[in-house]
Amino acid sequence: MAPDHGAYTGAFIDFGEAEEDVTLEAIEQFETMVGKHQAIIASSSYWGEQDFPSKNLNVIWQHHSLPLVFWSPWDRPYEQNTGPDRFNLNSIIAGAWDKYIDDWANAAKAFGKPMIVVFANEMNGDWFPWSGTYYGGNQPANEEKTKWKGPETFKAAYRHVVDRVRACGASNIKWMFHTNNYSSPLDTWNFAPAYYPGPDYADWLGLSVYGQQYKDEASADIPSLVDWPYKEMSGLDPTKPIMIAEWGTGEFPPGNKAEWIRQGLELFRSRYPRIRAAVYWHERWQNEEGYYSNLRVNSSVESLQAYREGVSNPDWLANLLFRPLAKK
């Protein structure tokens, strides 16, 4: 599924509060705007909805794009920084949600087409309720004090989910272990490697890389955002493809969003050879203070032009590459 050379283009296209209002019209409008077909289209399947997004995935697949699904154990109203809810990791480990997991897996099997699934992304960030912060954090999980309760609880839940899905026969799913580029809190126990469930549980390695999302944040260039986490993720496995599973930045003066986008689309190809896809987070939201965080590629004429020019490089692949399954 991952290309041997080049990288797939991809996008999340402002699909609503639950990130699941996928429409063909929105996808086509985005592609017309940026001048390129998107090989990957991302959307979410929050556990609070208690369903499988068959309609969304069929729209994406019939558009000849690969679905990337963020399968998040999160309940309404989907607010960050609120701590665990009814889908807490301990309840998952205990089997409280096995029926839902099995139903979702069986629906995925019935869908039958290739898809990439992320279970509980950005677990090294304390804004999501599945963060290790809420599950013992840095408390030792072994006598050598080389493992910690927070990450170990996450890994147990992750493996439980993947094992059940596989037991249902949903072999069309490729799994991605997806972390944030920086950890919060910034401590060894909370770094991405502590959460890694092992090579048997991840086909892709994913990173979220955001620039300035709020007006009081500092603006940082791509190398300062990607160099260290790329090295960290590369160290988890020598061969697995890496995806920039989310990336984007707001339009805040005097920052130069156009240059940031241009730099990303260039360096993802040239500086980081393991990157095989990048999914732009095309979204805009209003903050409590009244101003907007506008990550959309068309937040300015200059930003859109930078994106169009960047993805026009033939190394950015618009079409999916599949290999025939090996005969048994």
Between the alpha carbon of residue 256 and those of residues 227, 250, 311, the distances in Å are 20, 10, 18
- Burial 207-230, CB ≥16 within 10 A → b, else e: bbbbbbbeeeeeebebeebbeebb
CATH at residue 250: 3.20.20.80
Average pLDDT for 255-267:
97
Q: Is residue 323 part of a domain?
A: no
Q: Retrieve residue 131's tokens.
A: 């963060």
Q: Is residue 24 part of a domain?
A: yes
Q: Is residue 249 part of a domain?
A: yes
Domain tally, the chain: 1
| Three-state SS at 180 | strand
Q: Is residue 326 part of a domain?
A: no
Q: Is residue 2 part of a domain?
A: no
In this prediction, residue 323 carries a pLDDT of 59
State residue 109 phi and psi, 5-degree precision.
Answer: -60, -40
DSSP 262-290: HHHHHHHHHT-TTEEEEEEEE-EEE-TTS
pLDDT at residue 328 greater than cutoff 70: no
pLDDT at residue 261 greater than cutoff 60: yes
Q: Is residue 322 part of a domain?
A: no
Q: Is residue 325 part of a domain?
A: no
pLDDT at residue 326 greater than cutoff 80: no
First vs last Cα of the chain: how many Å apart? 19
pLDDT in tens, 91-123: 999 999 999 999 999 999 999 999 999 999 999
- pLDDT top residue among 309 and 327: 309
Q: Is residue 15 part of a domain?
A: yes
Query: Which domain does 68 fall in, by range?
Result: 7-317
